[in-house]
Amino acid sequence: MTDKYAVIGNPIAHSKSPIIHAEFAKQTNQDISYEAVLAPLNSFEMKVRELIELGYKGANVTVPFKFEAFAIVLPSSRALDAGAVNMLRFLDTEIRGDNTDGLGLVRDIKQNLGVNIANKRILLLGAGGAAEGVLHPLLEESPALLVIANRTLEKASSMQKKVELKNEHRTYLLNAQAFDDLAHQQFDIVINATSTGLTDTALPIPSSIFAEGCLAYELMYGRETPFMAQARAAGAQVSDGLGMLVEQAAEAFFIWRGVRPQTAPVIAMLRNN
């Protein structure tokens, strides 16, 4: 019998997740179906309950429901760290939630792009949900320094304080700064976790932040953003978030099915289409 899965979002028609999971299923001989499901903005939980009633085994969660998903699940430690959920498992008596976004980012950077994170100076741009989702997995890679920079320093400082309170017995080299503080600093990895790519808005950051050999990573995928163009002009190695999308999906697939698919051929297929 075919096991049913879905990705829930609003909007959702653009999602590549059904293509990705269909490729994973083909690779691993798993009998599953996977579809994109549109949830009304005020009815996310109702849509989840509806899928459970229809016999679905699990779902991915995308914008704008990752925080709402967190509120209705038994969260994993990764979900607790992120404060958000991007995948659900429907068990007999409970909904379990996890967050595979940060792991997907780390795997894409290390395995697909061949860039080590340990002992590197990292700049994380933004202090919203996307930044929260990747912060802890990045810190677990032991960078030399991680700076969270945001338009409003207060939000970046709040992220820093949450990490410090949760990790009283472990010291991370973590700083919160405003964009204005970035002059005269350079970083080995710069990650754009802001939403500026959606609006084609340039960030108020100096091009001098990109050190020689720097990796500039845009969490968005499918378009050249102003951040990517600025980084390219500054001589940085540039990547969008397509690899992260596939890697986070692969981790969700592994949790659901117990088999780990190969991601490289799926990333190549999506880039060539």
Nearest to 150 by CA among 202, 187, 82, 203: 203
Distance CA 156, CA 160 (A): 6
Residues designated catalytic: 66
Structure tokens belonging to residue 132: 């929260």
**DSSP labels for 230-248?**
HHHHTT-EEE-SHHHHHHH
Going by their DSSP bridges, the two strands 87-90 and 95-98 should be labelled as: antiparallel
Structure tokens belonging to residue 20: 């990705």
In eight-state DSSP terms, residue 142 is -
* Residues paired with residue 5 on neighbouring β-strands, in sequence order: 34, 58
